[in-house]
Chains A and B, each alone.
Chain A
Amino acid sequence: MATNEALVEVKDLRMYFPVLAGLFRSKVADVKAVDGVSFFIKNGETLGLVGESGCGKTTTGRCILRLYDITDGKVYFEGQDISNLSGESLRRMRRNMQLIFQDPGASLDPRMTAGTITGEPLLVHNLVKGKEYREQVAELLRMVELEPRMAIRYPHEFSGGQRQRIGIARALALRPKFIVCDEPVSALDVSIQAQIITLLMRLKEELNLTYLFIAHDLSVVRHISDRVAVMYLGKIVEITRSDELYDNPLHPYSLALLSAVPIPNPVVDRQRKRILLTGDVPSPIFPPPGCHFHPRCSLAQDICRQEEPELKDIGGEHWVSCHLVSK
């Protein structure tokens, strides 16, 4: 699935976390958080990543940023293999990619002022100092629609939405090309969510950013993304253009996920067909054999219990990993 314009590309990414037990803390099993994931993100594009908690979407984002030493597979940034970078070369690479966290209350240091939080990356990377530093911090705060005079305040003096703006300003400080947004609006109120989504979309246009947008709210993901990948138990089960996924979902899991989202209109919602999934997501330590989704899938057949499906190209930028979907 490689293209020349891909800013980020991930090939067969695997991230296993060891399960330790016993007196000598020896490894007894692996949590297969990400288990063979491949995709690319084009320059200037927003790729949405959705799935239930524990499906590996956050881990995928963190692997791309190389916050973990990945177990296997490759991560390319602007064509360069960054899977094994370390030390100074990794530090330099990180200037190009940043992370926006879910909970702005927990991700900002309560003892630092908004200005220091925003400007810290500039100092860490020795980019500017003195008057120029102060100007850049003021400019960053203006970019996220905060007033520069608020730079002297501490996080607790801001509301949740304003704190998320500070988190965004900090992520923008090094003028990155790529930002992983990990559930950036999930902790916010409805009216504030709309403000932050609008801000993120405006910044993307203005600064020519590329986003990996991780969220569990499918309506938000569809609104902001050009393409969407659906993850289940460490694997991508479907990836396609945003509109195509919502108009023509093919994987049974995507269908169930979409039908579970209530539509805020009683007339429309009460007429929809609903697919209720039974049970919970199985453990990623011992994932079911064959297709990981088969124990919860109403259409499962013998082949689904035995053979693991491949992610197949069915044309029109639409990839599905299901035995029952043919070209």
Chain B
Amino acid sequence: MADKLLEVKDLRTYFYVDEGELRAVDGLSYSVSKGECVGLVGESACGKSVSALSIMRLIPYPPGIIVGGEIIFEGRDLLKVSEEEIRHIRGNRIAMVFQEPTTSLNPVLTVKRQLTETLELHRGLDRPAAVDEAVRLLKLVGIPDAERRVNDYPHQFSGGMQQRIMIAMALSCNPSLLIADEPTTSVDVTVQAQLLEIMNNLRKQFGSAVIIITHNLGVVARYVDYVNVMYAGRLVEAGPTEVIYGQPRHPYTIGLINSVPRLDLPRKRGLYVIPGLPPNLARLPKTICAFSPRCQYAISKCQEQRPDLEQVGDDHYAACFRSKEIRELVEAG
């Protein structure tokens, strides 16, 4: 597998809180190829953001600590490189776009200063060249009147425009990997469509790989090549996008897909409802399937053993003891 850009192997990130050991990410493995768009899907607190922060080595310690695993990026294990080296990789080779542009941009610096800072630091440009480059980047992400607006402060931009600035900043060093953590959750659907289109075009233009972290199954369906579904800190299913939506094999994935209303289908009277709540990670026993308390197909084995990912098709994996028969079970009701 020569074209693997990133390989996360058995990543475990734990937090030590009052309640005890909280296993936010507990044995996560996945990979990203060059130029690929990979989705990390799941609900709040399933560990999707923590896994991304682990790649960037941005887990606050204490209380968080990466207790095990490997993160192989461009041939090097990011968990073993020095602080100096990771700082060079961060922003330069791997960039991140966060959910809330308002809190991620510095309110007291102009957009110009925030963009040129990165360009001077990572790409060694002098000030005038950096300013020209900043304007070019803003044009690239579709900010009108970029020459003038580069002098504005973040609050003078709308939420959608701020997120464009974040994308421009992330792309300023031509990263080979862009991690977008819920990039469109706080914006309107029309702006969401614009932003995703910009990111997708830039990906095609520059060949960067993208990890989209989201709970929005529509966004995943539209842009992602390969989907990883997370639940309680672990992968429950992984596969090419068409397969995950067409023939899902884990009851959580099936429930998730069926619980959102769809614009393209006739209105139904009822939605499928996954009962109960996501588990408290600090109290979750290691020896059961974390989804079993909410799963209508659970058998006694699910309460006794934790299922591992198993291959169920071409490049398609599911962590469920009943993944072979699950489709018949669902159809039978």
Interface residues of chain A, those whose CB is within 8 Å of chain B, are 52-53, 159, 161-162, 189-195, 197-198, 201, 216-220, 222-223, 242-243, 246, 256-270, 274, 276-280
Q: Are A219 and B256 in contact (CB under 8 A)?
A: no
Please give the distance in Å from B119's CB to the nearest CB on chain A. 26
In the complex, what distance in Å separates the CA atom of A260 from the CA atom of B219? 10
Please give the distance in Å from A56's CB to the nearest CB on chain B. 14
Q: Which residues on B sit within 8 Å (CB–CB) of A53? A: 188
Q: Which residues on A sit within 8 Å (CB–CB) of B194? A: 276-278
* Leading 4 A-B pairs by shortest Cβ distance: A262-B218, A223-B261, A194-B259, A264-B217
Please give the distance in Å from B330's CB to the nearest CB on chain A. 16
- The answer to whether residues A222 and B263 also contact, given A190-B256, A261-B218, A280-B161 and a CB cut-off of 8 A, is yes
Q: Are B218 and A269 in contact (CB under 8 A)?
A: yes
Q: Which residues on A sit within 8 Å (CB–CB) of B255? A: 191
A sample of 10 inter-chain contacts (CB < 8 A) reads A52-B189, A191-B256, A194-B259, A194-B273, A201-B270, A219-B218, A260-B193, A264-B257, A269-B221, A279-B144
Q: Which residues on A sit within 8 Å (CB–CB) of B158? A: 280
- The answer to whether residues A222 and B241 also contact, given A190-B215, A274-B193 and a CB cut-off of 8 A, is no
Give the residues from 261 to 301 in chain B that come closer than 8 angstroms, CB to CB, to chain A. 261-264, 266-268, 270-275, 277-278
- Nearest A residue to B242 via CB reads A266
Q: Which residues on A sit within 8 Å (CB–CB) of B43? A: 189-192
Q: Which residues on B sit within 8 Å (CB–CB) of A161? A: 277
Q: Which residues on B sit within 8 Å (CB–CB) of A194? A: 259-260, 271-274
Please give the distance in Å from B96's CB to the nearest CB on chain A. 22
Q: Are B262 and A258 in contact (CB under 8 A)?
A: no
Q: Which residues on A sit within 8 Å (CB–CB) of B275? A: 195
How many A-B contacts are there with CB distance less than 8 Å?
129
Q: Are A270 and B256 in contact (CB under 8 A)?
A: no
Partner among B192, B246, B262, B271 whose Cβ is within 8 Å of the Cβ of A198: B271
- The answer to whether residues A260 and B192 also contact, given A189-B43, A219-B261 and a CB cut-off of 8 A, is yes
Q: Is B205 an interface residue (CB 8 A)?
A: no
Q: Which residues on A sit within 8 Å (CB–CB) of B270? A: 198, 201
Q: Are A190 and B217 in contact (CB under 8 A)?
A: yes
Q: Which residues on B sit within 8 Å (CB–CB) of A243? A: 266-267
In the complex, what distance in Å separates the CA atom of A170 from the CA atom of B194? 39
Q: Are A268 and B219 in contact (CB under 8 A)?
A: no
| Chain A CB within 10 A, most for which of B218, B219, B270 | B218
Q: Is B160 an interface residue (CB 8 A)?
A: yes
Q: Is B44 an interface residue (CB 8 A)?
A: yes
Q: Are A52 and B218 in contact (CB under 8 A)?
A: no
Please give the distance in Å from B145's CB to the nearest CB on chain A. 12
Give the total of B residues in contact with A, Cβ under 8 Å: 46
Q: Are A260 and B263 in contact (CB under 8 A)?
A: no
- Nearest B residue to A160 via CB reads B44
- Nearest A residue to B41 via CB reads A190
Q: Are B190 and A268 in contact (CB under 8 A)?
A: no
Q: Which residues on A sit within 8 Å (CB–CB) of B260? A: 190, 193-194, 219, 264
Q: Are B191 and A198 in contact (CB under 8 A)?
A: no
| Chain A CB within 10 A, most for which of B44, B144, B257 | B44
- Nearest A residue to B258 via CB reads A194
Partner among B160, B191, B197, B218 whose Cβ is within 8 Å of the Cβ of A264: B218
Q: Which residues on A sit within 8 Å (CB–CB) of B218? A: 219, 261-264, 269
Q: Is B148 an interface residue (CB 8 A)?
A: no
Q: Are B263 and A277 in contact (CB under 8 A)?
A: no
Please give the distance in Å from A297's CB to the nearest CB on chain B. 13
Give the residues from 171 to 204 in chain B that come closer than 8 angstroms, CB to CB, to chain A. 188-194, 197
Partner among A219, A270, A280 whose Cβ is within 8 Å of the Cβ of B263: A219
Please give 8 more A-B residue pairs, beta carbons under 8 A apart, in addition to A191-B274, A201-B270, A261-B263.
A159-B277, A161-B277, A190-B260, A191-B278, A218-B189, A223-B268, A276-B193, A280-B160
- The answer to whether residues A218 and B263 also contact, given A189-B43, A194-B271, A262-B222 and a CB cut-off of 8 A, is yes
Q: Are B261 and A220 in contact (CB under 8 A)?
A: yes
Q: Is B305 an interface residue (CB 8 A)?
A: no
Please give the distance in Å from A13's CB to the nearest CB on chain B. 23
Q: Which residues on B sit within 8 Å (CB–CB) of A220? A: 261
In the complex, what distance in Å separates the CA atom of A212 from the CA atom of B273? 23
Q: Are A263 and B262 in contact (CB under 8 A)?
A: yes
Q: Are B277 and A264 in contact (CB under 8 A)?
A: no
Please give the distance in Å from A242's CB to the nearest CB on chain B. 7
Please give the distance in Å from A220's CB to the nearest CB on chain B. 6
Q: Is B245 an interface residue (CB 8 A)?
A: yes
Q: Is B216 an interface residue (CB 8 A)?
A: yes
Chain A proximity mask over B145-166: 1 for CB below 8 Å, otherwise 0 = 0000000000000101100000
